[in-house]
Structure 1
Amino acid sequence: MVADGQRLRVAVLGAGLIGIDLVDKIRRSARLEPALVAGRDRNSLGLRRVADMGHPTTAGGIDAVVEAGPFDAVFDASNADSHAEHWAALRPTGTTLIDLTPTGLGAVAIPGVSSHRSAARRHLNLVSCGGQAAIPILHAISKSCTPTYIEVISTGASANAGRATRLNLDQYIATTSDAIRTFTGVREAKVMVNLSPARPAPPFRVAMTVLADGIRPAPVRTSIAAAAQAVRAYTPGFKVASLSVDTGRISVAVEVTAVGGRLPRHAGSIDIINAAAVLLAEQTAAAPR
């Protein structure tokens, strides 16, 4: 547990789009101190931007993070293929590792849904941006009826998907599907991803279709509204864009726009997963060691 007024010393692995926005959010947190950002290319634009913000950087990757530690928390914003290696290196140090890659390793962490179980864990898995947007809504629906099939289609601007995101799409789909099944109890879940090159770039949108037994429209609508309000507490640009509740079927779409930071408004996919990551890191300050 961190004393009142004391800030958690944190590091970020990865200096891509996600890593840079993470640093911006961390530096605005009253509980976190961005002590190091690690990449692998000393000439990368991301590391130069972080250095211009006035924060320490290194091109030494995970080895440099271990050497500079221990840290209270490390955010892994690199890629799914490297995450297991990162956890193996950091586990002996006692740090909390917050995984923003879709590996499926660690304790699944969704603010407001799993935080009561995950705050004291030291290896947290944030699933995916689509999972962070969809699961609070789907979990709320599952408390009002019994889903038999769930389909989730995430659409984001192509400009927001870096190389690691594109390479990890298979893991994204598998990890998100598993998390949906875990938090709703549904047996069959299908996840799809669209990267849109449209101009102007579209907002991040997640469309959900739920087939279910015992649907009662009023409780379903109330549960969804409450879940959306809870997400907006840490991601203000989150909103329910459409909702239809029929016999045996619920169709709901949410949109996320990035507000109040360096990100363009269409980068809601980055905004929501990074906001969740920072919130969960802050919660570790109150968790017993």
Structure 2
Amino acid sequence: MLNTAVLGTGLLALDLIERIQNSPHLRCGLVIGRAAHSTGLRQAAEMGCTTTAGSISALTDSDEVFDIVFDVTNASAHHEHWTQLADTGTTVINLTPANVGALIVPAVNGDQAATHRHISLASCGGQTSIPVLHAIAQHYVPRHVEMVATAATRSVGRASRLNLDEYIETTQAAIQQFTRAATAKTMLNISPASPPPRFRSAMTLVAPGVEAEPVHKLVESAAETMRAFVPGFRVTSCAVADDTIRAAVEVTATRTNMPVHAGNLEVISAAAIYAAEQHALTQTRVAKENAR
């Protein structure tokens, strides 16, 4: 069982803690916040976690060894966090949109997670759209890709709002990396609508020779794969006309303590736990092989 630490105490961090506690492969050794009396740090303590304030310095000053550190802070802080953790031997899973680390999307290249010590999950928009776009791009050569994510105001915290530029740039780069599209464009809408809308991703892909029936099968297959990680993932539309594919997906949060509109948080939390458990499973397999 790998010992983990969580940097951050927002709603996403709290869901991550619950997932860690429910994992047979992980344990939550420490939760670190910025302010000693924050609501999130109090809630983490109520969940039975050891907590402390002081951010990254509290982690590096700890005598405890952590196999994995989840960074659930913000993009600007992550660069400093990685600088301080790079030589410690710990694996860092980056849930911020800082464009550093090996890009891992479980439904696409999850088998590579255990080979990297610094993992980037890009963004919730990237985790939601890339499996669909990548599936299409394996059969058609995209000239241009666009993705517009829509998230409810209530599911976008302060740290995320500070990272909007990084979110756009990192998601765009990730989409290009996984689709090899010549050009890509990403946008994010933060909706104040009431009731809050579920997280959505609308995608447009331009490629020569696209055909409706194969595209529909590719999109549905990608959605089925995603549901293994995120049960509330579904395709809401898929249309093909001329050389253009327009598809949209919606993510309904299904976690007990997660509001239904917070699918953006659920999709990236699920990806983080998947990556961590791949490290744990690999370590277990190596230990068994060495014991023979």
CA distance in 2, matches of 1:218, 1:31: 41
Residue aligned with 2:231, SS: coil
Q: Name the counterpart of 1:136.
A: 131
Give structure 1 regions of 4+ aligned residues with deviation exceeding 4 angstroms: none
CA distance in 2, matches of 1:88, 1:148: 37
Shift of 1:108: 0.4
Question: Are 2:11 and 1:26 aligned?
Answer: no
After superposition, residues 263-282 of structure 1 pair within 5 angstroms as 263-282=258-277
CA contact (8 A) 1:144 1:219 kept: no
CA contact (8 A) 2:113 2:279 kept: no
Q: Name the counterpart of 1:149.
A: 144
Q: Name the counterpart of 1:246.
A: 241
Q: Name the counterpart of 1:71.
A: 66
Alpha-carbon displacement from aligned partner over 1:166-216 (angstroms, at most 9, x marks no partner): 010000000000000000010111100011111111000000011111212
CA contact (8 A) 1:144 1:216 kept: no
State which of 213, 227, 234 in structure 1 corresponds to 2:229. 234
Residue aligned with 1:253, SS: strand
Shift of 1:217: 2.2
State which of 44, 52, 56 in structure 2 corresponds to 1:50. 44
CA distance in 2, matches of 1:13, 1:246: 46
CA distance in 1, matches of 2:132, 2:65: 36
Q: Name the counterpart of 1:111.
A: 106
TM-score if structure 2 supplies the norm length?
0.94
Q: Name the counterpart of 2:2.
A: 8
Q: Name the counterpart of 1:120.
A: 115
**Larger helix proportion of the pair:** 2
> Structure 2 counterpart of 1:221, which letter?
H
Q: Name the counterpart of 2:191.
A: 196
Shift of 1:31: 1.1
Question: Are 2:8 and 1:17 aligned?
Answer: no
TM-score if structure 1 supplies the norm length?
0.95
CA distance in 1, matches of 2:25, 2:282: 13
CA distance in 1, matches of 2:26, 2:113: 18
After superposition, residues 67-106 of structure 1 pair within 5 angstroms as 67-68=61-62, 69-106=64-101
> Structure 2 counterpart of 1:107, which letter?
A
Q: Name the counterpart of 2:30.
A: 36
CA distance in 1, matches of 2:270, 2:112: 19
CA distance in 2, matches of 1:259, 1:218: 30
Alpha-carbon displacement from aligned partner over 1:239-288 (angstroms, at most 9, x marks no partner): 11111122201111000011032110000000000001001100011336
> Structure 2 counterpart of 1:285, which letter?
A
CA contact (8 A) 1:19 1:77 kept: yes
Shift of 1:64: 1.5
Number of matched pairs: 283
> Which residues of structure 1 form unaligned runs of 5+?
1-6
> Which residues of structure 2 form unaligned runs of 5+?
287-292
